[in-house]
Amino acid sequence: MSDARAWVGIECDERRHAREILQIFNHEIATSTSIYEYQPRTTDDMRAWFADRRGGGAPVLGLLAPDGRLAGFGTFGVFRAKPAYKYTVEHSIYVHREHRGRGAGRRLLAELIAAAQARGVHVMVGAIDAANGASIALHEAAGFRHAGTIAEAGFKFGRWLDLALYQLVLEGPEEPVDG
């Protein structure tokens, strides 16, 4: 158990944090519908994931528990790979199962919003399994609004999954440009 006040916000580093992020990802893949994936990720997957984040200038923000372990992380990246979407990002947040319900998600989301604002992002999108009430409540509390649901968008654990899209409109760049 950890006290949210004792967590330290960090910028995650591949060398120091990839293994813990991989463990969090793989637990979610195996046990939940928060990631619509079937197979565990590998160390090579993590190298590519970090390279993608670096290449796109995306942050990987984390919270360290008092014992030095990663309590959770969040990131954002390309929403859709078309130039006109350059001011829109899709984000994700994952909290280690031992640290849920203590404000880690709220803090990570606030830090991701601040990072998006600093980068001139105009819209943040969260793609959330429609049955994930905790994530939906977290996003609504942060000002995100329901933008639509794609019925039966995924199939996992022998059932169809609905994908709810939540968006937060930010100020964005002072002078957006085409191209």
pLDDT digits (tens, 9 = 90+) for 117-145: 999 999 999 999 999 999 999 999 999 99
How confident is the model over 158-177, as pLDDT tens digits? 999 999 999 999 999 989 99
Render the burial of 103-122: b for 16+ CB within 10 Å, e for the rest.
bbbebbbebbbebbeeeebb
Question: Taking 60 as the threshold, does the pLDDT of residue 2 lie above it?
Answer: no
Question: At 145, which helix (H) or strand (E)?
Answer: strand 145-156
The overall pTM is greater than 0.85 = yes
In the prediction, which pLDDT does 6 show?
A: 77
Phi-psi region of 110 (alpha: psi -120 to 50; beta: other; left: phi over 0): alpha
pLDDT digits (tens, 9 = 90+) for 75-110: 999 999 999 999 999 999 999 999 999 899 999 999
CATH of domain 4-169: 3.40.630.30
Is the pLDDT confidence value at 1 over 60? no
Nearest to 113 by CA among 164, 173, 63, 59: 59
Residue 32 CB coordination number (10 Å): 15
